[in-house]
């Protein structure tokens, strides 16, 4: 892909934003409502992250205190990894929200990174014995597609956020 094409695409995207009609009082009001809703989402996501961390500590404590004392089996470890990844995904979503509030844009590279982390979490906690070949192929396809998308965004320099 040519750098000129990427620059033209970014310029076209910026010109297609919802900034048209800023003089319209209804649009200005609705934008304020949306920003307020996004702020509420940031607060809720912060609570979800804190609850997720507390849940990890609580579950890990209970599993370590159960018999056999201070030992974890493979399922416990995988469940802990999955819980950690879920909290990290929540943090990535929070970062998306903060970037949107700060810059009024959606950062495509962060969205793709979040999706990659979510699919990685799925792979970590999967029980491949209970999966069909098509499910395995589907997860592999999604992983490959997200990886290629992320690579293209980073390589071609359009990893700058795109105006909404």
Give the tens place of pLDDT for each residue, 7-50: 444 444 444 455 555 578 999 999 999 999 999 999 999 999 99
Gap between the terminal Cα atoms of the chain = 23
Chain position carrying tokens 């607060």: 43
Q: How many CB atoms lie within 10 A of CB 114?
A: 20
Strands (E), 6-115: 105-106
Residues paired with residue 106 on neighbouring β-strands, in sequence order: 162
CA 123/CA 140 separation, integer angstroms = 9
pLDDT of residue 163: 55
pLDDT of residue 149: 93
Dump pLDDT digits (tens) for 44-75. Answer: 999 999 999 999 999 999 989 988 888 888 88
Query: pTM value?
Result: 0.72
Sorted by sequence, the CB contacts under 8 Å of residue 52 that are 6+ apart come out as 83, 86, 87, 90
CA 20/CA 64 separation, integer angstroms = 58
Q: Residue 63 in 3-state DSSP?
A: helix
CA 118/CA 85 separation, integer angstroms = 8
For residue 6, how far is the Cα from the chain centroid? 24
Dump pLDDT digits (tens) for 118-161. Answer: 999 888 888 888 889 999 999 999 999 999 999 999 888 654 55
pLDDT of residue 16: 47
* pLDDT tier for residue 76 given thresholds of 50, 70 and 90: confident
The dihedrals phi and psi of 89, each to the nearest 5 degrees, come to: -65, -40
């Amino acid at each position: 892909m040519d750098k000129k094409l990427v620059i033209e695409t970014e310029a076209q995207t910026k010109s297609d934003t919802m900034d048209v009609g800023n003089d319209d009082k209804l649009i200005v009001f609705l934008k304020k409502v949306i920003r307020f809703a996004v702020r509420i989402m940031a607060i809720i996501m912060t609570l979800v992250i804190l609850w997720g961390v507390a849940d990890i500590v609580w579950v890990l404590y209970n599993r370590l205190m159960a018999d056999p004392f201070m030992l974890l089996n493979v399922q416990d470890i995988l469940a802990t990894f999955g819980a950690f990844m879920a909290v990290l995904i929540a943090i990535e979503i929070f970062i998306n929200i903060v970037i949107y509030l700060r810059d009024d844009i959606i950062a495509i590279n962060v969205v793709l990174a979040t999706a990659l982390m979510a699919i990685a979490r799925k792979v970590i906690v999967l029980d491949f014995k209970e999966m069909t070949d098509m499910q395995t192929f589907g997860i592999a396809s999604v992983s490959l597609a997200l990886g290629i998308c992320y690579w293209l965004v980073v390589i071609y320099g359009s990893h700058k956020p795109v105006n909404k």
